[in-house]
Amino acid sequence: MDLDLFPLGIAIGAAHCNREAERKRLADNVRRGRHTWLSARRRMGKTSVIEQVALDLKRRRQPVVTVALDLLVVHDAEALEVRLRQAVSAATAQLLPRNRRILDKLKQAFAALKPELVLSDEGVTLKLGSGDSPSETVEAALKGLDRIAVDRKRRVMFVCDEFQQLATLKNHTALEGAVRHAAERSKHVAFVFAGSERHLLAAMFEDPDRPLYRLCDRMSLERIGHEHYVSFLAQAGRARWKKPISEDAIERILTVTLRHPYYVNALCGRLWNARRPPKVADIDAAWDAYVEENKRRVAARVLELSLAQRAMLAAMARQPTPHPAGQEFLRMVRLPASTGLQAKGVLERDDLIQQDEAGVWELVDPVLAAYLRTI
């Protein structure tokens, strides 16, 4: 069976490109019980990094238990309770052996949630009840998990994905307070808070009036380094065709995709299906076809913007600039200074533009940039 080196979903193992510094830092935080806020743009590979770290930690002599709580579809406090109880139950099942009497220990750890052991076709599972309020359930469940982890002398990595959804719920301040109360008292559970709405997460963790203020070590996930991609693509080429892909071809791949991990994989997934290594012309043809297939999606995103934001985005697609709010650039776009500054702020907040390593502002999405250049 052929190995997919360029998956569109989670990339781990041989498909995981570098991120060694980020992986080491996150793994060190988990081993020390230090909570982490992982900041990353959409499709930048945050889930792949977390999954790879979980895999790395499982290879230790005493593996770390990993549990994931995905809040993407959580729409109210009751839905949060259900998902949280399921996640805590799953983690507890990994911590406790099945060949010993554990009910007394569970009753001590989860006293407020009336724990039960339920026999089903899937075996024995832990069922947790609700507290007097959603925030009490959150705090009791997380504290109970930590008590079990301490008793078993095991470390737990508790991943809260799309964590910004918590801020959209009714009475979210109480829920955030419950998370903080449990997290700052945790001894063996290390929390990883991640999400795709970076400005919402920033408000949760950087606003001194919010409960989670300065709870975590902040990690920022940016594009994979040029040199790491060059090495990865060269090795992937040899694995596929038994001979290297040309340096010009690699540079073209990284240029058109702006080294965006999702689009590197989307493009290379097509190129690596060919019988021979791609040439620059092959890459351009494959990329043009991909942009054409996705132009309706990016066109819809452009229509959501104001006229000033569209004008600035289109100009930056054609001509990236170190000073998008500078007089010269705004004169070219024909926008007044106040309007241009406001448009730039919105585009940055919504992760439509970014600064590269040289300080030049460009579009985040290479398909959107290519589409805007054609019109």
Q: Are 264 and 251 in contact (CB under 8 A)?
A: no
Cα-Cα end-to-end distance for the chain: 42
The model's pLDDT over 77-121, given as tens digits with 9 standing for 90+, comes to 999 998 999 899 889 888 876 544 566 677 777 877 777 766 555
Parallel, antiparallel, or unpaired: how do β-strands 217-221 and 123-127 relate? unpaired
Domain residues for the domain of 232 are 226-374
Domain membership of residue 13 (yes or no) is no
Instruction: Give pTM, 2 decimals.
Output: 0.87
Give the burial string for 32-71 (b: 16+ CB within 10 Å, else e): ebebbbbbbbebbbbbbbbbbbbebbeeeeeebbbbbbeb
The model's pLDDT over 331-358, given as tens digits with 9 standing for 90+, comes to 999 999 999 999 999 999 999 999 988 9
Please indicate, yes or no, whether residues 203 and 230 belong to a single structural domain of this protein. Answer: no
CATH number at residue 132: 3.40.50.300
> Residue 158 carries which DSSP code?
E
pLDDT band of residue 31 (cuts 50, 70, 90) is: very high
Neighbours of 272 (CB within 10 A): 21
Domain membership of residue 339 (yes or no) is yes
State the total domains in the chain.
2
Please indicate, yes or no, whether residues 168 and 25 belong to a single structural domain of this protein. Answer: yes
- Closest among 33, 35, 30 to 217, alpha carbons compared: 35
CATH number at residue 313: 1.10.10
Alpha helices in the chain (DSSP H): 20-32, 46-58, 77-95, 103-109, 134-152, 172-183, 198-206, 226-241, 247-256, 261-271, 280-303, 307-318, 327-333, 337-349, 366-374
